């Protein structure tokens, strides 16, 4: 199942810099692990915002929920999810 996910990050301004840096480091490692596994297929930064648009390829709504809630930055995120399905006019075989 494919999902389009927008993540807006809002780290509290009073969070100590070293704590924020450590959380971002864990977030990067986790997201790259998911990208290597094929679960997190694409990630794009939103210009001028601390936000991203991503495409996830997972087995179920529950799996996506588990992945998103395990993100180290999850407590500081606003997330919106849109389920996707293959468009009949698509010429790509790998976008199922």
Question: Which range, of 4-18, 29-43, 53-67, 82-96, averages the lowest pLDDT?
Answer: 82-96
96: confidence class by pLDDT, cuts 50, 70, 90: low
CATH number of 2-84: 3.30.70.1060
pTM score over 0.85:
yes
In DSSP notation, 11-56 reads --TTS-HHHHHHHHHHHHHHHHHHHHHTSEEEEEEPTTSSEEEEEE
SS3 state at 2: strand
């Amino acid at each position: 199942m494919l999902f389009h996910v927008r993540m807006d990050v809002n780290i509290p301004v009073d969070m100590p810099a070293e704590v924020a840096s450590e959380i971002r480091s864990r977030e990067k490692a986790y997201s790259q692990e998911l990208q290597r596994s094929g679960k997190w297929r694409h990630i794009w930064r939103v210009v001028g915002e601390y936000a991203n648009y991503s495409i996830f390829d997972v087995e179920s709504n529950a799996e996506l929920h588990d992945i998103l809630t395990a993100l180290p930055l999850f407590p500081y995120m606003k997330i919106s999810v849109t389920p996707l399905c293959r468009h009949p006019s698509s010429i790509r075989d790998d976008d199922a």
